[in-house]
Structure 1
Amino acid sequence: MKMDKHSLFRERSLQAISELIDTTDGSLYQHATDILHHALSSYASLLIEIDRTSQSKRLLATSPKMRAEDNICRDLETLLTQQMKYIRDDYFIIPVHTSLRFPQERYVVQHQIEGYFGTTLQCSVPGNLCYVFISLTTEPIDDPDTLYEWHQLIAQIIQQNQKHDYLARRVDLLLNRLNHEVSHDNLTNLMNKSYLTDTLERLMISPPETGPKLFSLGLLDIKNFSLINDVHGAYAGDQVLKYVAQVMTNLIQDEQFVFRLANDEFAFITFRQNPVSLCEKMIKQISHGYHDAQHHISLKVRIGLATYTQSSVNADELLLHASLALKECKTANQMICSYETSLSEAYLRKTELINALKKELSQCIDASDALYIKLQPIVRRHQGVWSYFEVLARWMHPTLGEISPVEFIEVAEESGLIISLGRRIIRLACLAKQDIESHGYQIRLSINCSAQELSQSHIYTEYLTEQVSSFGFNPDEFTIEITETTLLVQQHLAKKTLGQLRSAGFKIALDDFGTGYSSLNYIHSYPIDCIKIDASFIKNMLNSYKSEQVVSLIIQLANQLNIDLVAEGVEQKHILYKLYHMGCNQIQGYWFSCPILTQEVISHLLTQTQSSASDTLINLRSS
């Protein structure tokens, strides 16, 4: 049975669609043109790309290939111009006498072309390109419908393929951009922390025959970077980060092994046998500083090193080791530190203390007595009964034993527990004062304030005032001690907080006076009621003329400014009398008493009261 024209077209078109869909080797344009040529028995079928902006034309495919000539687009220039006038129509047709109508078209005349049928395919992707399918015949076109159907079919397939390719390229571009965003730092264009972890894991997993490579991981940070931002502005800070990144990349010579982890913290991986020498070069080059037309910024950096030596450590552990080494740089004030196992031991100890302290602070005061306070008297000359004490925190853990205040206060500051610890100490101090005063003794207390508490000015002042009021005490019965280091860290908040405390009625003492950078400036700049001479000067007085002179000058300064003065760390009688002679009349130290428990304070006060009463009675009798 003979097929009609439409049935034949459907069958052959389905076959053509199948063939074109299966084309995966990049020859779609040629294959489509071949199908068009064979289906229509044309003399030649062509696919031409036209840029509508520049009017440039490019032959993409022709069938049969032997009928393609150099400059064929130029030879069909007039026809293509006519074709573009019909760009909004489905097709442009010259059914007969094409060579006669366009004698200037060399190709048409030379090959005696009778019929021209062209379909314009609008590009389905953004841009100014369009495509023209052309069928040339040496016989008149007497069945334009068939040509139209085949042209439309092939054009639609090409159009869908272009759309698919465009979307695929777009997806690839977006995925690449996303991958770049996920793996790179936007400012420096270095790899980020996530990529560092992946890189470390990849380096640690190597083929069995070669074994893992030995390498070192370095963590680098910029000293006082926040100060650079504060003084020079965020833009200059960004330029400094880019400068450091560039120096590191130049020295490592492989950008995939240089990383920015956080604000001013960088990392690098090196396979050199002597990583310390690389670190020294890095530090030296960075120390030249960042310079531009407006800025000359000196820079100092620190580097913590950890070496991978085929041990059982994983990527996270190696990062931790390098981080511990960097932290040791800061603690020891060194530029380069390499990881040692002792640093891990210290880290484990610190982690254990953090967990224990967190648990301790989560319990109410009545449920635990492991965290407690001791009081050390601050004694005025010729004073018979003590009335002024500094509150000192102590911790006796049931399994870890007695933990040094230096250790657990540092842990509290680093872990963010210092606010909770400070509140516990304030509460314990009020309870101790209440207990002592219930025995008839009126006392004042001095409580230390940390940098983090100072930074939360309103919250700290509100809690302190609330606790003092809840016990029926007055704020002027308490002195708040601030170290010079605390003021240095929180300068922008210190005045506000200290002003609030003074307004509430509390007194302010500057502790460890003389150890900071701007001791004298603090006295003039902040509302200070009392200064406490650091114990290191007191202990060195007998052996160091310089220390003695410093103490003498501090005493003279305090007396001239009418500021209370306390000498800390007094342990010997001759030091005591030398201080008295210099004009310092308030003393704190082991000469009078070590820090003692509340009940011991009560016992001492009772003894002192009885002794004072006996002395009074003797004096009365003798008179």
Structure 2
Amino acid sequence: MKWPTSVPIRQLALIFISSALVLMSLVGGFALHEMRGISRDLMHTNQAAARAELATAVEQLSNRIKTQAEMLARWDETRQQLAVPEYYAYWRNQRVYESSMLSRFAHIALYDQSDALLAAPNPKNSFPAKLPTEVSPHFPTSWLRNEAGSVVLYYAFPVYSDGRRLALIGHGLIRLNYMAELLNQSNFRFTDPASIKLKLQPGASLPTADLLDKTSFNARVSPEQMRFQAVFSRALLALLVLLVLTALLGFIAHNRLLVRPLRQLSEDIDAMRQGRFEPVPDQASPMQVSELENIRHSLFDYQVQLRELHGSMEHQNREFRSQARHDVLTDCYNRRAYEEDWARLREEVKAVPQGVAFLLFDCDRFKSINDTYGHEKGDRVLTLIADALVMALRANDRLYRLGGDEFAAILLRTTPAQARQIAQRCQSLLNAKKFSDIGINEPISISIGIAFCEADQINHIDELPKQADIAMYTAKQPGRNRVALFGDDVERASQTLVASRETSAVFQALATPGMIEMHYQPIHSLPGLEIKYYEALARIRHHNTLILPEAFLPVVSTRRLETGFDLAVLQQVDLDLSSKQLQAGVGVAINLTAQSISQPEIVSYLLELSRHNTRHPLMIEIAETSLITQVAEASAYLDLLRTAQYRIAMDDFGTGHSPLRYLADLPVDVIKFDISLIRKLEESSRGAQVVADFARMMISTGYSLTAEGVETEAALRLVEDLGFAHVQGFLLAHPLPLEQLVAHLATAKSGDAQPD
């Protein structure tokens, strides 16, 4: 179901009011349902009370009949009538009532010892001539009988000659109009007397024990309950009518006070958007929402102010755009401006063909200058180079700083000869700069690569940056001029570089997952030689040949592929760790170039890779020989990675240009002494003492030391005596592919399990 993106306010009001009415209807229905439930509960309570009341009345009547029978059985006149029944009729018809022995609804008859009626029965009352056989001789017996639609209660009782109940002289039988006596003696509160009926067929008899079960009745309806139901129903109906009227009035007020002003406000905003908004004079109205009117007037005031500020904002936007396209250090155009201009120029020259030259500039030996004199002097050198290049270019040409010490320029409507002349002028102006004024005494030079595209070959313009890059690196080769124009001789020379086995292998490895193969060399702890880490070493498998780092790393560095190559290495390590073939608890050390550690995509992947830290502690090794051009940024990224439980190691320590400076500026946990320093320890010279003293100093300052390239037992003893924490080298283990390493560990484990 697709919901509408916008709903008119009137429709919202209708929905709200309808929802409120539905909700209140549900509440009213629920209240009515609850009221009916309460009424049912009250009816059940009244029915139970009526049944209890009826049971009590029946029990009281039975007890009264029993009492009357006991009194008659002990009455001397009753015994006298059984002995001498001369006045029996008088006694039966008058005497028993005068003595209050029976009620007016009851009659009595006496039976002699032979169970025969003493005298003819009263015509008004039909007593049986013989006492029924079910009457017990010595115990009272009672039953009910439906006689001609009237329920009659019979109660038979024995009569003895004396109080000791020794001689039975006859029986008495009380006949009672049961329903008349029951209704006469009881004042029913919960039971409706008119509804009391006994379910007894004409001529049938019923024991008194089953009397209550055969009696049907109805409970009285409580007047309070009837009044409550009536009042509640009227109140509920009045509430519903009030809600409907309130909803109607609310809709009318909402439409008058909100919908109309908001619609007018919406029309005013649309007019503002189209630039034709004019203030509407105030209209007399009995009711207005002051906040909405204030908004409408404020919007008009803002529109006027926006028109006034529009001109200055356009000027500021132009300035901001200009700043966003300029390099902060050199004030020339930055890479963003280069990418935008290059995309635009390619379309322009394809529409209007013309000769285009692409010049690529690179400072020679800038790494050594930066390491020797520091970043502040290095930045000053870049500024002077940019000034010289801008002065050498033509008035309409732009200089772009692509990154680091690399600059570029795009020349339109030119020829190869003019492009070479401009490049040579750049070198001449740079040579005229006095770098000694900033404390640099050695010469500063640049290598320039030029690529040219003729007007009739403009479809190949996209290849100019790559061709200029090849020409620039050709210009850096020994024996070459510092300016190289891409052509047949440069192309032939570059083909040797580009088509070499190592170069081809590097590019294929970056494009083909799985060609980069990780070999793992154990790093052992001292003392004890327990495996604590594996160093992940990259190899390239090219046509079944294993290419080692010393062969392909120069290509990676020359082609500036460090970030892409390191990303491929991280992906392969991720796959290996995800396979969970390495034993848990052993860490993995990953080699990265210093250039990559400042790249956000590398840091982001490392943070994702940190999920393996729970199974394999991870360590990053940064080669000390690499140039770190952005120390502060690299330090910030390394601090971030340390919070993700990475350890940071300085690799190949002792082979670079400024090791102490990097140790002071970067958050390093581990220092890995290069094989050259380990071999120096084995010599009997002053250099061995310097290395040993330096190692002790590093340990005392809190660094953990690892000895690389340990190949002899003597070297192992030396580094252990000096206090090195870890050691690796061919003496202990060679790097192995993951499958071979796992198989080797399994074999070693099974060998340890064999009995001696």
Which one has a bigger Cα radius of gyration? 2
